[in-house]
Amino acid sequence: MVGNKAQARGAFAIFVLPALGLYLFFAIWPLCQGFWLSTTNWDGAAPWTPAQVPIAQFESDILGKAKSESDRRFLLKYYVKDEGQGTYRKLEAYGLPRYRLMAIFKSVGYVTQDFKNVGLKNYTDIFTGNLDKRFFPERYKEALFQPGDPVSKLALIPRSEFETQVLSHVQSPQELAYLRSVYSPTPEGYALDHKLGSLDEVDLQSVLSEIPGLADDWEGLFQTALSSGERGDSTALSAAIAAVPAVSGKHISAANKAILDSTLKEAFDLGHIKGVMAKDWYQDRLKWGVLLFTAIFVIVNVACVNILGLLLALALDTKMKSRNVLRSVFFIPNVLSMIIVAFIWQLVFREFLPALTGIKEWMMNPDLAPWLTIFVAVWQGVGYYMIIYLAGLQGIPQDIIESASLDGATGIKRFFRIVLPLLVPALTICLFLSLAGALKTFDIIFALYPSNSTSMGIDNITVNIFYDAFRDQHAGLATAKAILLLFVIAIITGTQLVLTKRKEVEM
């Protein structure tokens, strides 16, 4: 507490005023500028006043309409005439001159197309869902077989997969009958007819390309047979075969014609099974999208770091001999830079785990990827919360615990009735930090998945904002998202603080 009024004024001047000034400059001003940017259609790259303007346009529409002589002089200070280019070219202008230039351009009614005010359009786009569809959860069909995949992939399909992922998708009775004719159930699963399964596109093409008299026409015939097979259109195949004499223009011996016919028929059969399976073998999946992935990431991350952090703190609050070493060991991940963390785990997921488990795909398995990211984030963060919980535990007077034991309270009861209520201040801080941190997470996702997080579907809101601004050239929209994120974080953490503060127990 400060002694007298003079000291209070002194403290205000020396400490509070500068702090307020810094806060204004580093927090309030950027927030205001951010909000202003979010009302524009800025693409993140275009300069805020034009880099060049055609000479005639600059002189008539800008210089000519300038409101004062000082405005005119200011413009000519930063725009130089380049006769060779036919434009007035802007010299570097950052800081305050940039804002004055913008004000002058606005006063003459000049609008920069890639940086103009669009009012609250970015916000209405966000709230009406007029965004890239990757932002929202979406059902999609994951194709389990593509037309260019080798037919060997179709050789044996486990029973349940065949029934749920193939047969249940078949629309027509003819197609169902066809599949049942070429696939037979075996103890291991549904097996493709051996002859069909051993057809090889390269062999078929080789045979066709070596038939004398066909020359280059073999490829067109092969593609026609394959594609008519994919469509199940046998009349197209017959037409193609019938057209061969005209197509080749040369005589093909009867023996070679027979080879040609049977090879084209095999190509048709190959195309048919591939076409049907490419159409029907899929799995209905849900793409989480940015919103759902962010929500799941936050909930799971916060739950895990807090529960695990508390459990570790409880374990290390005991009298075990190695507790000091262990405290350091568990805290070390938290002091590592994200690049090192990403490097370590990429090595583990790419080299060690495949060798240990035989499963080859870890990080690039779209089902596992979100969970691996959460796992690494928890691994990196848990030590920090463990320290806070440990400090909280050590602040609980031992005599309260001892008297509870004497009164007959068991370990679990002691924990929930005595320890946890007294730990609420630590819980308040940890929940607050972990919630805000999880909502703002950028570095762990960016370091683990540097160029492919969008394709993997693990962009969270901050990564999405970054890519929106600087890859997809929608910086105005990205800033609007960032402003909204700020309010979301404030509301969530504010609510959490109020709720947990109520539960704090005074000793």
Comparing C-alpha atoms, which of 348, 399, 350 is closest to residue 376?
Answer: 348
From the list 136-144, 263-271, 319-327, 484-492, the region that binds other proteins by CB under 8 A is 136-144
Q: Near other proteins by CB under 8 A, which window of 176-184, 187-195, 469-477, 481-489?
A: 469-477
Residues in 77-96 at the binding interface with other proteins, rule: CB under 8 A: 85, 89-90, 92, 94
Residue 413 contacts other proteins per CB under 8 A: no
Based on the shown chain and the rule CB under 8 A, indicate whether residue 233 belongs to the binding site for other proteins: no
Cα angle vertex 71, ends 66, 76, to 5°?
A: 95
- How is residue 187 annotated by DSSP? T
Closest CA to 278 of 230, 314, 229: 230
State how far Cα 506 lies from the chain centre: 44
| Residue 132 CB neighbours (<10 A) | 15
Verify binding: residue 144, other proteins, rule CB under 8 A. Answer: yes
Where does 108-243 have alpha helices with state H? Answer: 121-127, 159-165, 173-182, 194-197, 201-209, 217-231, 234-242
Name the phi and psi angles at 199, rounded to 5.
-65, 140
Q: How far is the CB of 79 from other proteins (least distance, A)?
A: 11
How many positions of this chain bind other proteins (CB under 8 A)?
A: 57
Which one, 125 or 317, has the nearer CB to other proteins?
A: 125
Q: In the bound complex, what is the minimum distance in angstroms from residue 249's beta carbon to other proteins? A: 18
Residue 33 within binding range of other proteins, rule CB under 8 A: no
**Residue 273 is inside which H or E element, if any?**
helix 254-280
Please identify, using beta-carbon distances, which residue of 149 and 317 lies nearer to other proteins: 149
Among 72, 100, 287, 414, the residue binding other proteins under the rule CB under 8 A is 287
The C-alpha atoms of residue 219 and residue 232 are separated, in whole angstroms, by: 19
Q: Give yes or no for residue 51 binding other proteins (CB under 8 A).
A: yes
| Minimum separation from the CB atom of position 176 to other proteins (A) | 24
Choose among 472, 440, 441: nearest CA to 454: 472
Is residue 232 a contact residue for other proteins (CB under 8 A)?
A: no
Q: Which amino acid is at 59?
A: E
Per CB under 8 A, the list member of 68, 206, 394, 495 interacting with other proteins is 206
Q: Rank residues 388 and 482 by Cβ distance to other proteins and give the closer one.
A: 482
- By CB under 8 A, tell whether 420 contacts other proteins: no
State in angstroms the smallest separation of the CB of 158 from other proteins: 18
With vertex at residue 490, the alpha carbon angle to CA 485 and CA 493, rounded to the nearest 5 degrees, is 120
Integer Cα distance of 251 and 337 in angstroms: 73
Q: Which is nearer to other proteins, 313 or 363 (CB)?
A: 363
The whole-angstrom separation of Cα 338 and Cα 360 is 24
Q: How far is the CB of 225 from other proteins (least distance, A)?
A: 15
Contact residue for other proteins among 35, 72, 100, 114 (CB under 8 A): 114
- Based on CB atoms, which residue is closest to other proteins, 47 or 213? 47
Q: Should residue 34 be labelled a site residue for other proteins when binding is judged by CB under 8 A?
A: no
* Closest CB to other proteins among residues 289, 381: 289
Extract the tokens encoding 350: 């790419």
Nearer to other proteins, 435 or 458 (CB): 458
Contact flag: residue 99 with other proteins (CB under 8 A):
no
Helical ranges in 38-158 per DSSP H: 55-57, 69-78, 96-107, 121-127
State in angstroms the smallest separation of the CB of 50 from other proteins: 8
Nearer to other proteins, 141 or 250 (CB): 141
Nearest CA to 158 out of 121, 198, 130, 186 is that of 186
Of residues 213 and 425, the one with the C-beta less far from other proteins: 213
The alpha-helical segments, DSSP class H, found in 338-452 are 338-347, 353-357, 369-394, 398-406, 411-414, 420-422, 424-440, 443-448
Report 321-380 residues binding other proteins (CB under 8 A): 349-350, 354, 360-364, 366
Interaction of residue 231 with other proteins, rule CB under 8 A: no
Distance (Å, rounded) from C-alpha 310 to C-alpha 385?
A: 8
When asked if residue 118 is in the footprint of other proteins (CB under 8 A), the reply is no
Q: Which is nearer to other proteins, 71 or 468 (CB)?
A: 468
Neighbour-count burial for 74-92, b at 16+ CB within 10 Å, e otherwise:
bbeebbeeeeeeebbebee
Nearer CB in complex with other proteins: 46/326: 46
Residues 438-457 that bind other proteins (CB under 8 A): 450-452, 454-457
User: Which residues neighbour 72 within 8 Å (Cβ) at sequence distance 6 or greater?
Assistant: 63, 66
Interface residues with other proteins (CB under 8 A) are 43-47, 51-52, 85, 89-90, 92, 94, 113-114, 140-144, 146-150, 200-202, 205-206, 209, 216, 219, 287, 349-350, 354, 360-364, 366, 450-452, 454-457, 466-467, 469-473, 475
